Amino acid sequence: MRDLIEKYAGKLARDRSAAPGRIGFAANDDAMVEGGASDLSRLSSDVLSRLSCLGMLAAVPSLPFPEYLVRRAAADVAALVPLDTETRTFLHDIPFVRKEELRADPAGRIASLLSARKGVVAEGIGIVAAGPVTLEQAYIHYSSVFHACYVKYLLDALRDGFRLPGEAEAFRAFREERLPAPSAEGLAFRPGPLGAPEEVLAEIRDVGRYTVERGLVDSFFGNISYRVGDTIYISQTAASLDELSGCVDPVPMDNRSTAGITASSELLAHRRIYEATGATAVLHGHPKFAVAMSMLCDEAGCPVKDCWKDCLRVRMLGDTPVVAGEIGAGGLAVRVPPVIGAPGKAIVYGHGVFAVGRDGFEEAFRSMVAVENRCREEYFRRLDARRGPGQSKSE
Partner 1 sequence: MLPRENILVVDLTSGRTRREEIPPELLHAYLGGRGLGVRLLRGRHTLPPYDPAMPLIFATGPLCGTAAPTSARLSVVSRSPLTGTVYDCSAGGRFAWRLRASGLLAVLVEGRSPRPVALAITSAGEEIVPADALWGMEIGDTVRALSSRGSVAAIGPAGENGVLFANVMMGEGNAVGRGGLGAVMGSKNLKAVAVDGDRRTPVADRDRLDRARADAMRLFRASPVIFGELGIAAFGTPALVDLMRQRRMAPTENFRRTVFEESSAYSGPAIRAAYGARKDGCFGCPIQCKKSGTDGRHLPEYETVSHFGALNGISDIHAIVRSNDVCNATGMDTISAAATLSAWGEARGRFPSPDEVVPLLRDIAARRGEGGLLAEGSRRVAEALGRPGLSMTVKSLELPAYDPRGAYGMALAYCTSNRGGCHLRAYPISHEILRKPVASDRFSFSGKARMIKIAEDVNAAIDSLVACKFAFFGASLEEYAELLSGATGGHHTPQDLKAIGERVCLTERFYNAENGFARADDGLPERFFTEPGSSGEGIEVPPIDRARFEEELTKYYRIRGLADDGSFPDPAFLSGQP
Footprint of partner 1 on this chain (CB under 8 A)? Answer: 1, 27-30, 51-54, 88-90, 92, 115-118, 132-137, 140, 236-239, 247, 251, 255-265, 267-268, 271, 326-330
Burial class (CB in 10 A: 0-12, 13-18, 19+), 43: buried
Q: Least separation, in Å, of the C-beta of 172 and partner 1?
A: 37
Q: Are the C-beta atoms of residues 163 and 73 closer than 8 Å to each other?
A: no
Compare residues 123 and 326 and give the one whose CB is closer to partner 1.
Answer: 326
Q: Least separation, in Å, of the C-beta of 236 and partner 1?
A: 6
Q: Least separation, in Å, of the C-beta of 12 and partner 1?
A: 16
Compare residues 234 and 322 and give the one whose CB is closer to partner 1.
Answer: 234
Q: Least separation, in Å, of the C-beta of 349 and partner 1?
A: 14
| C-alpha to C-alpha distance for 59 and 128, rounded to whole angstroms | 7
Compare residues 121 and 375 and give the one whose CB is closer to partner 1.
Answer: 121
Q: Are the C-beta atoms of residues 288 and 351 closer than 8 Å to each other?
A: no
Distance spanning both ends of the chain, measured CA to CA = 47
Q: Least separation, in Å, of the C-beta of 376 and partner 1?
A: 27
Q: Least separation, in Å, of the C-beta of 156 and partner 1?
A: 23
Compare residues 227 and 366 and give the one whose CB is closer to partner 1.
Answer: 227
Q: Are the C-beta atoms of residues 356 and 281 closer than 8 Å to each other?
A: yes
From the CB of residue 232, how many other CB atoms can be counted at a distance below 10 Å? Answer: 22
Strands 18-28 and 315-317: unpaired
Compare residues 116 and 188 and give the one whose CB is closer to partner 1.
Answer: 116
Given 3-state DSSP classes, what are the helix, strand and coil percentages for the chain, each rounded to the nearest 5?
Answer: 40, 20, 40
Q: Least separation, in Å, of the C-beta of 271 and partner 1?
A: 8
Q: Least separation, in Å, of the C-beta of 19 and partner 1?
A: 25
Compare residues 120 and 370 and give the one whose CB is closer to partner 1.
Answer: 120
Compare residues 261 and 314 and give the one whose CB is closer to partner 1.
Answer: 261
- 177: CB partners within 8 A, 6+ apart: none
- 108: CB partners within 8 A, 6+ apart: 50
Could you please report the per-residue DSSP string of 308-330?
A: HHH----EEETTEEEE---STTS
| C-alpha to C-alpha distance for 69 and 67, rounded to whole angstroms | 5
- The alpha-helical segments, DSSP class H, found in 241-335 are 267-277, 288-294, 307-310, 332-335
Compare residues 201 and 355 and give the one whose CB is closer to partner 1.
Answer: 201
Q: In what order do the strands lie in the sheet with 94-97?
A: 32-36, 18-28, 55-61, 126-131, 119-122, 94-97, 79-80
